[in-house]
Amino acid sequence: AQKVTQAQTEISVVEKEDVTLDCVYETRDTTYYLFWYKQPPSGELVFLIRRNSFDEQNEISGRYSWNFQKSTSSFNFTITASQVVDSAVYFCALSEVNTGNQFYFGTGTSLTVIP
Amino acid sequence: DTEVTQTPKHLVMGMTNKKSLKCEQHMGHRAMYWYKQKAKKPPELMFVYSYEKLSINESVPSRFSPECPNSSLLNLHLHALQPEDSALYLCASSQELAGTSNEQFFGPGTRLTVL
């Protein structure tokens, strides 16, 4: 079973629009960590954020914000006032403390920001 | 220095060749990873080294042979590859093994083509 689901395969928005990327996860662990990574066309995966399962506070970093809701097992990512440089594939990932060392990636959402 | 470097950036090899991919980090991280990523797919874990010892081998064919000469270096030796092995090979490192709070930092990858 897929532990991390990113239902949106591809999204296109016009520059300056806001866009939300969805991430739904599945785990039985009480202690786990969620991550978002950005992969631009150059290929390198860039770490954006880590959130642990005990901290449901939403976080804002510039134009980026994250909404973590344990009740719905979701960790959504919003880009405000999107820019062309935001065009990339975005991966959500889960790691579980008690069930080994593996990083579970979602299938990714390809975001295209049109100028 | 929060950088993971990988060489070469691109590699084209025949099925009878022997080549090596190299990865280096100077962040003092004790866990290092090899991932394989096909186009439009998430990274797939291949190997994990923890404190220079192989910790995880995700049933990778023996034509891929990892090596960790010291805590900063990780190699992937390639021999008798198949065309379906063509992919982006990503190296990553984290402070300790994933499964704790430690985010993984990724290198830019080596784009491998097997003819």
pLDDT in tens, A8-42: 999 999 999 999 999 999 998 888 899 999 999 98
Mutation site, A6, A8, A44, A48, interface B, largest B CB count within 10 A:
A44
Please report, for residues B40, B43, B86, B114, the alpha-carbon distance to residue B79 in angstroms, rounded to integers and kept in the order given.
Answer: 25, 21, 13, 11
Nearest CA in chain A to B39: A43
Residue whose entry in the numeric block shows the structure tokens 């992919």: B87
Q: Would you state the pLDDT for residue A99?
A: 64
* Residues B38-55, mean pLDDT to the nearest whole number: 92
Q: Would you state the pLDDT for residue B68?
A: 96
- Identify residue A6 by its one-letter amino acid code: Q
Q: Would you state the pLDDT for residue A100?
A: 61
Cβ-based contacts of A102 with chain B (< 8 Å) = 45, 56, 98-99
Other C-beta atoms lying within 10 Å of the C-beta of residue B106: 22
Question: With an 8 Å Cβ cutoff, are B98 and A91 in contact?
Answer: no
Identify the CA nearest to B52 among candidates B37, B35, B78, B30: B30
Whether the Cβ atoms of residue B79 and residue B63 lie closer than 8 Å to each other: yes
Task: Find the range with the poorest average confidence among A34-48, A94-108, B56-70, B73-87.
Answer: A94-108
* pLDDT band per the 50, 70, 90 thresholds, residue A1: low
Cβ-based contacts of A95 with chain B (< 8 Å) = 98-100
Nearest Cβ partner of A43 from B56, B88, B92?
Answer: B88
Distance from CA of A10 to the nearest CA of B (A): 11
